[in-house]
Structure 1
Amino acid sequence: MKNFEEKTIQSTKIFDGKVVKLQVDEVTLPNGHTSKRETVKHPGAVAIIPITKDNKILFVEQYRKPLEKNLVEIPAGKLEEGEKPEATALRELEEETGYTTDHLSFVTSFYTSPGFADEIIHLYLTENLIPLEVKKDLDEDEFVELIELTLEEAEQYVQTERIHDAKTAYALLYLRLQGMKRT
């Protein structure tokens, strides 16, 4: 295996925001030349595949400002400092869907955009949804609508680009490969 490692010579922080940080690194390339790399630093996130007792998947529809449109997605959220991914998954499930669970199964972790960002998403599955007696509040700047779809309906949403994000497409592929019933 070839070594394609780029060694950092210097890092310059450009922006430190609520969700992301931006830095520019000067690097030495494998051929000895130098270059610059712009990197979005992200604390990581979780996503949850919530399956109801009648074999439907819970999604949330929300407006995504960078895209200027609504998307239908699996529930997800950013890791808070010091928070374990499983705790974040449970918190986001409760806030966004009004359900909790007594069992989250870890599926996998994956990078969202490794060409310019270090964001990693930890994907969980739950098939034991328990309605909350008292709904949790969403973040003050978060507005979502809960949607229940079969796997077949969700795949149709992919074709019409109502589902158009990588984490949700990844989750649907996982379910298809696991043989989820198409009801």
Structure 2
Amino acid sequence: MKKFEEKTIQTETIYDGKVVKLQVDEVMLPDGNTSKRELIKHPGAVGVIPITPEQKIIFVEQYRKPLEKPLVEIPAGKLEDGEKPEVTARRELEEETGYTAGPLEFVTSFYTSPGFADELMYLYIADGLEPVKDPAIGDDDEFIELLELTLEEAKQYVQNNRIHDAKTNYAILYLETLEMCVQKGG
């Protein structure tokens, strides 16, 4: 057995829903003891950083039930079965903002909550935005409002906890780092 590997002995599916699956795994630990792991299985997701020609970032504000409050976030959504992340990014951009973009620039991918979930999120930048004549309709239960913020305004939203999720904070940090590199000439 590898140094930190936990070998799955048994898996019990507790819930298999539209977005996630909850399972409890019994595992053998590296020292030979056993333990239980509660796991969320997720198909993966994308986040999109839409940049307007005026160099503003388009955000969506929506109510997040687990938090019992609205958050301002970058457009994002889950991968559908067999869908490539870039296709999901384009779909979510259109559904949530009514825009399409030129070539998307892949930024990175990251695990959102590796302590209990396997969700892998892909992050893209979208510029060259153009309004879609007849945009795709989003989810029936999704109510969102668009905001266009400068990077400085977005950083203020972070300080005020209006932007308070990892993917959006990561996006803002990435843009801030990019801006600093441009200012330093590299």
Normalising by structure 2, what TM-score? 0.94
Q: Where do 4+ consecutive residues of structure 1 move more than 2 Å?
A: none
**Equivalent residue, structure 1, for 2:76:** 76
Whole-angstrom distance in 1 between the partners of 2:125 and 2:43: 21
> Deviation of residue 89 (structure 1)?
0.3
- How far is 1:102 from its partner? 2.1
Q: Distance in 1 between matches of 2:165 and 2:135?
A: 27
Letter in 2 for 1:26: E
The correspondence of residues 61-72 of structure 1 with structure 2, limited to 5 A, is 61-72=61-72
Q: Structure 2 matches for 1:38-49, cutoff 5 A?
A: 38-49=38-49
* Residue of structure 1 equivalent to 2:87: 87
* Residue of structure 1 in register with 2:20 after alignment: 20
2:143 paired residue number: 143
Give the Å deviation of 1:138: 1.6
Measured in 1, the distance between the counterparts of 2:89 and 2:127 equals: 14
1:34 correspondence with 2:34: yes
Secondary structure at the aligned position of 2:94 is classed as helix
Which structure 2 residues correspond to residues 1-183 of structure 1 after superposition, within 5 A? 3-179=3-179
SS in 2 for 1:179: helix
Q: Percent sequence identity over matched residues?
A: 71
Query: Does 43-52 or 131-140 show the bigger shift?
Result: 131-140
CA contact (8 A) 2:13 2:23 kept: yes
2: distance between equivalents of 1:119 and 1:36?
A: 20
Contact 2:102 2:127 in 1 (8 A): no
Tell me the TM-score normalized by structure 1: 0.96
Distance 2:110 2:46 in 1: 10
Output the CA distance in 1 between the equivalents of 2:136 and 2:82: 21
Unaligned runs of 5+ in 2: none
> For the residues of structure 2 that align with 1:149 and 1:85, how far apart are their CA atoms?
25
Unaligned runs of 5+ in 1: none
Aligned-CA RMSD value: 1.4
